[in-house]
A and B are shown apart, each in its own frame.
Chain A
Amino acid sequence: MKPDDPHIKWIEEPRLGIAGRLYLPLVLQGLTTTARHLVSPKLTVSFPEERPKIANPLIYRGVHRLNKDEQGRVKCVACFLCATACPAHCIDIVGIESPWPDREKYPESFVIDELRCIFCGMCEEACPVDAIELTSLFDLTGRSREEMIFDKEKLLSIYDQTKDAEPMRSVREGIRG
């Protein structure tokens, strides 16, 4: 395509006003903007001392927890729906026959590899008994890979840790689980 091709539409650069041509007024304008930001309140959150404010902890997708029912038993019925829904295949459940009369199975072991998890929340969506939920804890760290594989006890302890601040959905919405 040649430069004088009729299909090319040449657009004129907009001409500067007198302030733009003088340059110095715009310099002053730029400097005032910079100076205003220099003294304006800072947006940085000084993390370990100051916790970031999570707008709605109830819908935040952080570390998982396994919910307990009123008798302190794990709510999970080992139906494997969460493990099936999980796109990262990070949930590993071993289900055995339940000792309680209200359900057939319960998880002997319930392991989530937090390093594989992508925190999509599909497990929470899939769960029919409101047993697995994502909390608003976001700063999970560990010194080894093994440490980041959370077992049932760990996940249940996260429930104890967060149940007051973030009640279960079934409790929130008044549904009997």
Chain B
Amino acid sequence: MTNAVVIEALVKIGLLIFGLLTAAAYLVLLERWVAAWVQDRRGPNRVGIPLTNIRLMGLGQPLADGLKFIFKEEYTPRHVDKWLYSVAPIAILASAMAVFAVIPFGSVMPVAGVKNPIHLVVAPGFDVGIVYVFAVSSLAVYGVILGGWASNNKYSFLGALRSTAQLIAYEIPLGLAILGVALASGSLRLETIISQQAASGEWNLLNQPLGFLVFFVASLAESARLPFDLPEAEQELIGGYHTEYSGMRLLMYLIGEFLHMVTAAALIVVLFLGGWHLWGLTGHEENIHWGTALVRVVVFAAKVLATIFFIMLIRWSWPRFRFDQLMALAWKVMLPLGLVNLVMIAVMVEYGEHFHEIALVLGVWFLSGIVILVMAVTQPLESDNRPRW
């Protein structure tokens, strides 16, 4: 490994961390805006440039929030397990950030004076990209369970338990949906998955609607967003696993959560929505002009932002699931749907060449519809909640 490679990687890591932290701060603002708009309010629109009356629609709010968190007392209750208590938020933040090492936020960027164009991903050519994403993002559950356990508090512990059960349950449908994509593209590298979608011009959403549905729902559950935010259900558990946290440690938890949402959105875009590809705008060649490269980055960012916005809208459209409903949804609905999707993709990959492309897509959508209909009629979510005797 030469010095140039190390420097390149360090620059990319620095940019990425700076970008992610800023993004997380502004996503908090966006979330508050969306929350306000949906409730016919205006949202934070006062804080602008400090010491002036310039308001900038409240764009200074994240700065104020950050300052507030820094100046808050960082209180450690006496009954906690000190070591685990301080490790847990670091674990969750680290795992949330490490995922981005393999997520490409563009394709390649040709730079004057450098022989090879620079890959816009921290770890380019990482052959087991999806497996890595999976492995590292699963580590987040350690942050949650350690935080809940170390807090030595019933609410925290309950939240952590729920969260663990939920994350483990939803990892299975998540994995099944990813398997479908991996099977269809024949690669675990995220860059290859994108470039294949770009080359054929068909996003995976078109071929695998069922897989997209399963992945979307499961990744909402994985990032503990509403309607799956049982780990920290305020009305039931005060704050769940981060009840006992304050100051910077709480901030780390909150940033970790937002980064999970960003990860989920980025993965949805990479796996199902064609990454940086947009018809007639970004092309699909490997050797590109730097302008095109920039357009690809912008397209990717826009898609991720749109997905995040949609996830935020979902937050205000649904009530939270009950825990038994959550589990039933994972095991009785998402798991079978994922399996069916996997079989469909396998058949399509094996025998797809005998059929016309449009017939194939229509067939997949039709079959997916039938499966969902059958699922609905048999009604696995119906629960009889009267006492047994």
Name the one of A2, A13, A35, A44 contacting B313, with C-beta atoms under 8 angstroms.
A35
For B380, give the chain A residue with the smallest CB separation.
A21
The contact string, 1 if C-beta is below 8 Å from chain A, for chain B 352-389, is: 00000000000000000000110011010110011101
Whether the Cβ atoms of B313 and A18 lie closer than 8 Å is no
In the bound complex, how far is the Cα of B36 from the Cα of A40, in angstroms?
Answer: 12
In the bound complex, how far is the Cα of B39 from the Cα of A38, in angstroms?
Answer: 8
Confirm or deny: B18 has a beta carbon within 8 angstroms of a beta carbon on chain A. Answer: no
With a cutoff of 8 Å between Cβ atoms, the chain B residues found around residue A34 in the complex are 38, 313, 316-317
In the bound complex, how far is the Cα of B40 from the Cα of A41, in angstroms?
Answer: 7
Whether the Cβ atoms of A21 and B34 lie closer than 8 Å is no
Q: Is the interface of B mostly helix, strand, loop or mixed?
A: loop
With a cutoff of 8 Å between Cβ atoms, the chain B residues found around residue A30 in the complex are 317-318
B381 → chain A closest CB, angstroms:
8
Whether the Cβ atoms of B317 and A37 lie closer than 8 Å is no
Name the one of A21, A42, A44 contacting B377, with C-beta atoms under 8 angstroms.
A21
Whether the Cβ atoms of A44 and B41 lie closer than 8 Å is yes
In the bound complex, how far is the Cα of B238 from the Cα of A119, in angstroms?
Answer: 36
Whether the Cβ atoms of A37 and B376 lie closer than 8 Å is no
In the bound complex, how far is the Cα of B98 from the Cα of A119, in angstroms?
Answer: 59
Within 8 A of A (CB), among B310-325: 313-314, 316-318
Whether the Cβ atoms of B39 and A22 lie closer than 8 Å is no
Whether the Cβ atoms of A38 and B318 lie closer than 8 Å is no
With a cutoff of 8 Å between Cβ atoms, the chain B residues found around residue A40 in the complex are 40
Confirm or deny: B134 has a beta carbon within 8 angstroms of a beta carbon on chain A. Answer: no
In the bound complex, how far is the Cα of B380 from the Cα of A22, in angstroms?
Answer: 11
For A43, give the chain B residue with the smallest CB separation.
B40
B300 → chain A closest CB, angstroms:
24
The contact string, 1 if C-beta is below 8 Å from chain B, for chain A 18-55, is: 10011110010011011101111111101000000000
In the bound complex, how far is the Cα of B35 from the Cα of A34, in angstroms?
Answer: 10
With a cutoff of 8 Å between Cβ atoms, the chain A residues found around residue B42 in the complex are 42, 44, 46
The contact string, 1 if C-beta is below 8 Å from chain A, for chain B 284-318, is: 00000000000000000000000000000110111
In the bound complex, how far is the Cα of B377 from the Cα of A22, in angstroms?
Answer: 8
Confirm or deny: B75 has a beta carbon within 8 angstroms of a beta carbon on chain A. Answer: no
With a cutoff of 8 Å between Cβ atoms, the chain A residues found around residue B39 in the complex are 37
In the bound complex, how far is the Cα of B384 from the Cα of A3, in angstroms?
Answer: 15
Whether the Cβ atoms of B38 and A38 lie closer than 8 Å is yes
With a cutoff of 8 Å between Cβ atoms, the chain B residues found around residue A10 in the complex are 386
With a cutoff of 8 Å between Cβ atoms, the chain A residues found around residue B316 in the complex are 34
Confirm or deny: A4 has a beta carbon within 8 angstroms of a beta carbon on chain B. Answer: yes
With a cutoff of 8 Å between Cβ atoms, the chain B residues found around residue A22 in the complex are 372-373, 376
Whether the Cβ atoms of B38 and A37 lie closer than 8 Å is yes
B56 → chain A closest CB, angstroms:
15
Whether the Cβ atoms of B41 and A31 lie closer than 8 Å is no
Whether the Cβ atoms of A24 and B372 lie closer than 8 Å is yes
With a cutoff of 8 Å between Cβ atoms, the chain B residues found around residue A31 in the complex are 313-314, 317
Name the one of B34, B385, B387 contacting A3, with C-beta atoms under 8 angstroms.
B387
| A37-B37 contact given A3-B387, A42-B42, CB 8 Å threshold | yes
Whether the Cβ atoms of A23 and B376 lie closer than 8 Å is yes
In the bound complex, how far is the Cα of B36 from the Cα of A24, in angstroms?
Answer: 25
In the bound complex, how far is the Cα of B318 from the Cα of A46, in angstroms?
Answer: 29
In the bound complex, how far is the Cα of B40 from the Cα of A37, in angstroms?
Answer: 6
Within 8 A of B (CB), among A92-120: none
Within 8 A of A (CB), among B72-126: none
Whether the Cβ atoms of B41 and A43 lie closer than 8 Å is yes
Q: Which 5 A-B pairs have the closest CB atoms?
A: A30-B317, A21-B376, A22-B376, A34-B317, A44-B42
18 A-B contact pairs sorted by A residue (CB < 8 Å): A3-B386, A16-B379, A16-B382, A18-B376, A18-B377, A21-B376, A21-B379, A22-B372, A31-B313, A31-B314, A34-B316, A37-B39, A37-B40, A38-B313, A43-B41, A44-B36, A44-B40, A44-B42
Given A22-B376, A30-B318, A34-B316, list of 6 further CB < 8 A pairs? A10-B386, A23-B376, A24-B372, A38-B34, A42-B37, A43-B41
List B residues at the A interface (Cβ < 8 Å): 34, 36-42, 45, 313-314, 316-318, 372-373, 376-377, 379, 381-382, 385-387, 389
